[in-house]
Copies of this chain bind each other. A is one copy, B any other.
């Protein structure tokens, strides 16, 4: 508290309004009496705050008040609820080959999405931003939302991003986003853009609507092509001094691991190895194009012994990875996320069985149900977090 704002009487109103908003976010449509019970404010204050928030556009009053909750005696209560259409947020997943944008309302309901590929291999920063903007505008148009109504944008990229949103540009490609995306979209559309590492957003996403819902200490490992992880400790995302927290490159030195290849990559490699041998295996059906992870999992499910061997190796590898992370971080839960998570469920049992070999504090292990939308879900969450913590400082552009 080095820089102190004076404790003006208005501070009280802020605290009260914040409490009412929090309650409404958690509870849907509520009566004034419910607000009173939840916040400890008196009726006069509660109504005054509600009227205030309504005037500013953040909440709306329901009309058919009696109809709502079934039968009720006495004077009908006024009902208020969060105006989920007070504005929108955008969640972006910016990958190497494409950008995906999700439009969400203020309750976190995904209203629409759009993807745009990056055609050329090494296009300029401006063109890249233009592609992302195009995807965003497509998504907004798809739901009939105006760009003016966008209250916050969060974008996930596969590079370290520090707490302040600075990209650590070790590679040329991502360096472009450092100054580019945020300022460009601000200039062009007036949007507040929050950059974040994709694995970190995955962690936020899975903790919001995935396997880690409500868990305060969780590590989410994006495990498809290369391992990367997002770490939430005590409900807070870790960044480290340069945004590198959750990096798993030390696995190069871990016995029985030796690289940071993900499940899909390893399955592909090991399937190819297996096909070099003479063992009889249904994986040969895919010999021409190369067997993918999904084929390996399918073959294993059908009892193919070569595929089962690969799954065994994958479980061992994952147990070592999770074990080392769990030792250092001691999460309650480790979530395997990314596109491969759907099929990775069969690995959970074998992984859990081996974990005690590699850590004294074995966490629960789960796969994320969010699939490859895990990053956009997290990006939406991040943008909503921004809006929720800054609600009383934001001005809404309401349609007159």
How many protomers of this protein does the assembly include? 2
Among A51-59, A80-88, A245-253, A338-346, the one that faces the other chain is: A245-253
Assess the B163–A241 pair: CB atoms within 8 A.
no
What are the interface flags for A3-46 relative to B under an 8 Å C-beta threshold, 1 for contact and 0 otherwise?
A: 01111010111011011001100100000000000111100000
Q: How far is the CA of A39 from the CA of B16 in the complex (A)?
A: 22
Task: Give A contacts to B, CB under 8 Å.
Answer: 1-2, 4-7, 9, 11-13, 15-16, 18-19, 22-23, 26, 38-41, 160, 163, 170, 216-217, 233-234, 236, 238-250, 253-256, 320, 323-325, 327-332, 358-361, 363
Mind listing 7 A-B residue pairs with CB under 8 Å?
Answer: A4-B22, A9-B12, A11-B15, A163-B234, A240-B329, A241-B363, A244-B361
Partner of A239, one of B1, B234, B242: B234
Partner of A360, one of B2, B19, B170, B328: B170
A16 smallest CB distance to B (angstroms) = 4
Q: How far is the CA of A2 from the CA of B9 in the complex (A)?
A: 23
Would A253 and B254 be within 8 Å (CB), given that A9-B12, A16-B7, A217-B240 are in contact?
A: yes
A8 smallest CB distance to B (angstroms) = 8
Partner of A330, one of B23, B26, B243, B328: B243
Assess the B26–A4 pair: CB atoms within 8 A.
no
A354 smallest CB distance to B (angstroms) = 13
Contacts of A11 in B (CB 8 A): 11-12, 15
Main secondary structure of the interface of A (DSSP, over half): loop
Partner of A4, one of B39, B249, B255, B256: B39
Assess the B323–A250 pair: CB atoms within 8 A.
yes
Would A250 and B324 be within 8 Å (CB), given that A241-B331, A245-B233, A331-B240 are in contact?
A: yes
Q: How far is the CA of A18 from the CA of B233 in the complex (A)?
A: 28
Assess the B18–A327 pair: CB atoms within 8 A.
no
Assess the A5–B40 pair: CB atoms within 8 A.
yes
Contacts of A40 in B (CB 8 A): 4-6
Which B residue sits closest to A229, measured CB to CB? B328
Counting chain B CB atoms within 10 Å of each CB, the highest count among A1, A236, A254, A327 belongs to A327
Contacts of A361 in B (CB 8 A): 240, 242, 244, 247
Q: How far is the CA of A217 from the CA of B162 in the complex (A)?
A: 12
A355 smallest CB distance to B (angstroms) = 12
Counting chain B CB atoms within 10 Å of each CB, the highest count among A7, A9, A324, A329 belongs to A7
A396 smallest CB distance to B (angstroms) = 22
Which B residue sits closest to A16, measured CB to CB? B7
Partner of A256, one of B23, B38, B253: B253
Contacts of A16 in B (CB 8 A): 7
Q: How far is the CA of A19 from the CA of B330 in the complex (A)?
A: 36
Which B residue sits closest to A255, measured CB to CB? B253
Partner of A359, one of B160, B239, B249: B249
* Further 9 A-B residue pairs, CB within 8 A, beyond A5-B40, A233-B238: A4-B19, A4-B22, A4-B38, A6-B41, A7-B19, A233-B233, A240-B331, A245-B329, A250-B324
Assess the B6–A39 pair: CB atoms within 8 A.
yes
Partner of A245, one of B160, B244, B328: B328
Assess the B330–A245 pair: CB atoms within 8 A.
yes
Contacts of A4 in B (CB 8 A): 19, 22-23, 38-40
A331 smallest CB distance to B (angstroms) = 6
Counting chain B CB atoms within 10 Å of each CB, the highest count among A15, A38, A236 belongs to A15
Would A248 and B331 be within 8 Å (CB), given that A16-B7, A255-B253 are in contact?
A: no
Smallest CB-CB A-B distances: 4 pairs: A240-B330, A244-B330, A6-B40, A241-B332
